[in-house]
Amino acid sequence: MPSTQLNVNHTLHTVSADPDTPLLWVLRDILNMKGTKYGCGIGFCGACTVLIDGQPVRSCQTPLRDVGSQSVTTIEGLSKDGTHPLQIAWQQVDVAQCGYCQAGQIMTASALLAANPHPSDAEIDDHMSYNICRCGTYTRIRQAIHQAAQLNHKS
């Protein structure tokens, strides 16, 4: 099995896997980072969203060979201790029902706030409508993004 260097959450890992393996399954089953979730395997639901060089991507559609030396950020690496404003806001607003999609939602939202610190409802809807929440927590996701923007502003 070929081995590949992978930069995840600012740590270099050596991974032995077929280069066609989707990043999702490298993260989950080789690096044992279970926060990134499998939902559809066709890039349609967003549960597997991670950041690559700051941009949200579908890790189920990203083969290991395409990652190269780019920097991968997963939900485990969004903050050192779970205190990213989005993580705090998500907990305070009590967004989750089943919670399975929420890592992907938070990663998608983090890219939005990085580019647009105070998005409007319409901008949030535009950016977030590629992520499915089967439980239908969209109202609270929107609210939590606004709250995180406020927390960001204060800090």
Write out the residues near another protein by the rule CB under 8 A.
Answer: 1, 18, 20-22, 25, 29-30, 32-42, 44-45, 47, 74-76, 78, 82, 86-87, 90-92, 94, 96-103, 106, 124-126, 128-142
**Minimum distance, C-beta of residue 15 to another protein, in the bound complex (Å):** 12
The one-letter amino acid at 8: V
Q: From 70, 71, 88, 91, select the one nearest 79 (Cα to Cα).
A: 88
- 80 or 154: whose CB is closer to another protein? 80
- 96 or 113: whose CB is closer to another protein? 96
- 43 or 70: whose CB is closer to another protein? 43
DSSP 152: H
- 91 or 150: whose CB is closer to another protein? 91
CA separation for the pair 88, 73 (Å, rounded) = 18
**Minimum distance, C-beta of residue 17 to another protein, in the bound complex (Å):** 8
**Minimum distance, C-beta of residue 83 to another protein, in the bound complex (Å):** 10
**Minimum distance, C-beta of residue 70 to another protein, in the bound complex (Å):** 20
Strand partners, 58: 49
* Residue 115, token pair as written in the block: 């580019």
- 32 or 155: whose CB is closer to another protein? 32
CB within 8 Å of 139: residues ≥ 6 apart: none
Please give the sequence-ordered ranges of beta strands (E in DSSP) within 30-131, or none if there are none. 49-52, 55-58, 71-73
* Residue 133, token pair as written in the block: 């929440």
* Residue 47, token pair as written in the block: 């549960």
**Minimum distance, C-beta of residue 10 to another protein, in the bound complex (Å):** 15
